[in-house]
């Protein structure tokens, strides 16, 4: 699933299940919605009265020649319709503000929930597809929320009211005018099934396209380096074509609504006049009644036509809402127990007891791994790529949950304590530490948001980043773009080091943290963090074995476990796995 080439699984939920859940968010704005309903009720009432006013004007005033009565009726009708125009304007403003506010809250809820999900969720889907849900899918809901109140409800009320009025005035004419209604319902049912299928597929194609764009822009340097622009351009064209094709299929089916309803409307109108002339006779129905019925036929079918156009938005928005609620309903697999106590201040004793873990059910990366790390020890993890070194440190931070066994810190099972209180006491440095857009000061302070200026500078000095920062034109106020493209790899790494140092972690994890630093800078950094490592348990993953000679112990990770462990000298004397790794690297 973690690819723009694979469509996301469709959420199999009915629109009648998804949309009511969305509309529940409107309950927060009951007062505003009540005002909108009152204005809509007034406008709908005037619309329903207008044909009756026309009937009265013709039969009571125009034919008898009562000019004064006609003038009075025109004035009354004019005032009512002017008030309707004013009411429509007010209700549109209210609904526009309400729908924008609701979308803002829904997007915030979605974003907040995504941040609670564990790494397994992000491993399973590209960030571009997640971005598509936060932005594209939520944006698609704005019009549907607004129009559902200002279009859907008034039109439904109008259709029902017109039906009742027609039946009350003359049930024979009413049945004649509505003779095509059963055919309309049958046709709409068939069309809606196909349209909904293609709108959902269209959402998937749009998501694939967003995922590709995100992936493409993130790797633009590699693409340009290997002159792969034509290949990526071709892929993008294919994704755009797939998105366009699904859009056209969906629109074609939705457009069929209008044509089908037009046909039913025409048949109903013909039925009205044929019934009136052939069955009832001209003399039995007044001209005003004919005109009123003609207006009501239009008032019956026009809302249905509006609803058919609204259905395009409805199905499209329902597909987006399904995708949003699918993420909101996703529960994190790594959670804190209810009322879990906070992790006490960590001293640094880390213990693995028969730990087994796999990223999926089919393969175990670690099998029955056990080790005991004393407080303040520096442990180096070495081994071939993919052996499970990063997995070990990810489990200590509880980014994933183990299948079996126990991981304890200071004798406390990490699954029994509050997750936030555990991770706030850990510092993690990786090979590709992210630099956020903002100043250098803000990036370092990310490790401790309430840090003072003195603390920030002290952290930078401890990793020898202060000198190069102050050499910049704006020093600590130098503004960086996302990923810190203005800096060298080594400089970005030093800033990330300072950020981690500022957090003063109780357990320090360095995952290939010095790989982007030249040898001279690395020596300075090693000297700068030597005091910090004292009294703190640290785990260091390094392929460059020269960087771990001061480690208290080395664990050689491979074949799902620890092949051997000991001090650097002990392992060299054994001439085992570590000896072979070192000989291969230095030869």
| pLDDT tens column, 302-317 | 777 777 767 767 776 7
List the one residue out of 401, 396, 390 whose CA is nearest residue 332: 401
CB atoms under 10 Å from CB of 93, counted, come to: 11
Whole-structure pTM value: 0.68
Do residues 414 and 352 lie in contact, with contact meaning Cβ atoms separated by under 8 Å? no
What are the DSSP calls for 89-140, one per residue? HHHHHHHHHHHHHHHHHHHHHHHHHHHHS-HHHHHTS-HHHHHHIIIIIHHH
CA distance 443 to 67: 81
* Cα-trace Rg, the chain: 35
24 Cβ contact partners less than 8 Å away, ≥ 6 residues apart? none
CA distance 302 to 50: 15
Band (pLDDT 50/70/90 cuts) for residue 490 is: confident
Q: Is 538 helix (H, G, I), strand (E, B) or coil?
A: strand
Q: Is 142 helix (H, G, I), strand (E, B) or coil?
A: helix
At residue 412, φ and ψ (nearest 5 deg) are -105, 125
Residue 13 has pLDDT above 60, yes or no: no
What are the DSSP calls for 236-287, one per residue? HHHHHHHHHHHHHHHHHHHHHHHHHHHHHHHHHHHHHHHIIIIII-GGGS-H
% of the chain beyond a pLDDT of 90:
13
How would you classify the pairing of strands 438-439 and 426-429?
A: unpaired
Instruction: Report the Cα 301 to chain-centroid distance in Å.
Output: 38
Q: What average pLDDT score do residues 485-492 get?
A: 78
pLDDT one-digit tens code per residue, 459-469: 888 878 898 89
Residue 127 has pLDDT above 80, yes or no: no
Residue 145 has pLDDT above 90, yes or no: no
pLDDT one-digit tens code per residue, 423-436: 888 888 776 667 88
Sign for the CA dihedral angle at 101, 103, 109, 115 comes to: negative
Q: What average pLDDT score do residues 344-368 get?
A: 91
407 Cβ contact partners less than 8 Å away, ≥ 6 residues apart? 350, 351, 352, 353, 355, 395, 396, 398, 413, 414, 415
Count the helix, strand and coil residues of the chain and give each as a percent rounded to the nearest 5. 65, 10, 25
Beta strands in 418-524 (DSSP E): 426-429, 438-439, 479-480, 507-511
Average pLDDT value over all residues in the chain: 81
Using CA atoms, how far residue 221 sits from 216, 224, 225, 490, in Å, is 9, 5, 6, 18
List the one residue out of 61, 39, 15 whose CA is nearest residue 149: 39
CA distance 443 to 478: 11
Band (pLDDT 50/70/90 cuts) for residue 31 is: confident
Sign for the CA dihedral angle at 560, 566, 567, 572 comes to: negative
Do residues 571 and 578 lie in contact, with contact meaning Cβ atoms separated by under 8 Å? yes
Which range has the top average pLDDT, 189-198, 265-274, 394-403, 520-529? 394-403
CA distance 254 to 268: 22
Residue 320 has pLDDT above 70, yes or no: yes
Query: Buried b vs exposed e over 277-307: b needs ≥16 C-beta within 10 Å?
Result: eeeeeeeebeebbbbbbbbbbebbbbbbbbb
Residue 370's pLDDT is 94
pLDDT one-digit tens code per residue, 76-87: 888 988 998 898
Q: Is 186 helix (H, G, I), strand (E, B) or coil?
A: helix
pLDDT one-digit tens code per residue, 215-225: 777 777 677 76
CA distance 435 to 128: 19
CB atoms under 10 Å from CB of 227, counted, come to: 8
Q: What average pLDDT score do residues 157-186 get?
A: 78
Lookup: tokens for 565? 């462990």
Q: What average pLDDT score do residues 26-52 get?
A: 84
Q: Is 510 helix (H, G, I), strand (E, B) or coil?
A: strand
Query: Buried b vs exposed e over 110-128: b needs ≥16 C-beta within 10 Å?
Result: beebbeebbeebeeebbeb
Residue 52's pLDDT is 79
Residue 411's pLDDT is 92
């Amino acid at each position: 699933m973690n690819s723009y080439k694979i469509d996301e699984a469709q959420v199999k939920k009915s629109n009648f299940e998804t949309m009511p859940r969305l509309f529940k968010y409107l309950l927060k704005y009951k007062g505003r919605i009540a005002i909108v309903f009152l204005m809509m009720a007034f406008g709908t009432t005037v619309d329903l009265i207008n044909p009756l006013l026309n009937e009265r004007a013709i039969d009571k005033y125009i034919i008898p020649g009562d000019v004064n009565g006609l003038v009075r009726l025109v004035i009354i009708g004019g005032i009512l319709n002017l008030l309707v125009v004013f009411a429509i304007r007010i209700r549109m403003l209210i609904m526009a503000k309400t729908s924008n506010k609701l979308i803002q809250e829904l997007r915030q809820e979605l974003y907040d929930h995504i941040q609670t999900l564990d790494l397994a969720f992000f491993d399973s889907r590209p960030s571009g597809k997640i971005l598509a849900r936060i932005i594209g899918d939520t944006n698609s809901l704005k019009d549907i929320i607004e129009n559902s109140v200002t279009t859907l409800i008034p039109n439904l009320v109008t259709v029902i009211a017109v039906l009742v009025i027609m039946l009350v005035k003359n049930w024979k004419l009413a049945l004649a005018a509505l003779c095509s209604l059963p055919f309309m319902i049958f046709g709409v049912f068939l069309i809606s099934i196909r349209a909904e299928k293609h709108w959902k597929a269209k959402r998937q194609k749009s998501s694939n396209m967003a995922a590709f764009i995100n992936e493409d822009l993130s790797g633009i340097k590699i693409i340009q380096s290997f002159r792969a622009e034509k290949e990526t351009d071709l892929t993008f064209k294919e994704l755009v074509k797939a998105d366009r094709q699904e859009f056209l299929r969906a629109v074609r089916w939705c457009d069929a609504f209008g044509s089908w309803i037009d046909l039913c409307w025409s048949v109903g109108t013909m039925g009205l006049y044929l019934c009136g002339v052939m069955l009832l006779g001209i003399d039995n129905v007044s001209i005003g009644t004919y005109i009123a019925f003609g207006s009501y036929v239009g008032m019956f079918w026009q809302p249905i036509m509006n609803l058919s156009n609204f259905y395009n938005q409805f199905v499209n928005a329902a597909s987006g809402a399904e995708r949003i609620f699918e993420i909101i309903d996703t529960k994190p697999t790594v959670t804190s127990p209810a009322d879990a106590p906070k992790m006490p201040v960590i001293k640094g004793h880390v213990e693995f007891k028969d730990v087994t873990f796999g990223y999926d059910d089919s393969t175990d990366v670690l099998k029955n791994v056990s080790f005991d790390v004393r407080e303040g020890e520096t442990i180096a993890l070495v081994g071939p790529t993919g052996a499970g070194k990063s997995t070990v440190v990810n489990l200590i931070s509880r980014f994933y949950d183990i299948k079996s066994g126990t991981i304890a810190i200071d004798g406390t099972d990490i699954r029994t304590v509050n997750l936030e209180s555990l991770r706030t006491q850990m510092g993690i440095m990786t090979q590709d530490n992210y630099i956020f857009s903002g100043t250098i000061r803000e990036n370092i302070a990310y490790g401790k948001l309430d840090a003072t200026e003195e603390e920030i500078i002290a952290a930078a000095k401890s990793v020898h980043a202060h000198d190069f920062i102050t050499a910049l034109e704006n020093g600590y106020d130098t503004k960086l773009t996302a990923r810190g493209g203005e800096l060298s790899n080594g400089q970005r790494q030093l800033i990330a080091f300072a950020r981690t140092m500022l957090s003063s972690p109780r357990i320090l994890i360095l995952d290939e943290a010095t790989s982007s630093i030249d040898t001279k800078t690395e020596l300075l950094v090693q000297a700068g963090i030597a005091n910090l490592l004292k009294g703190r348990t640290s785990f260091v993953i390094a392929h460059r074995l020269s960087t771990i000679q001061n480690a208290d112990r080395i664990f050689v990770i491979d074949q799902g476990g620890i092949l051997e462990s000991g001090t650097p000298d002990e392992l060299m004397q054994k001439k085992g796995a570590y000896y072979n790794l070192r000989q291969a690297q230095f030869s």
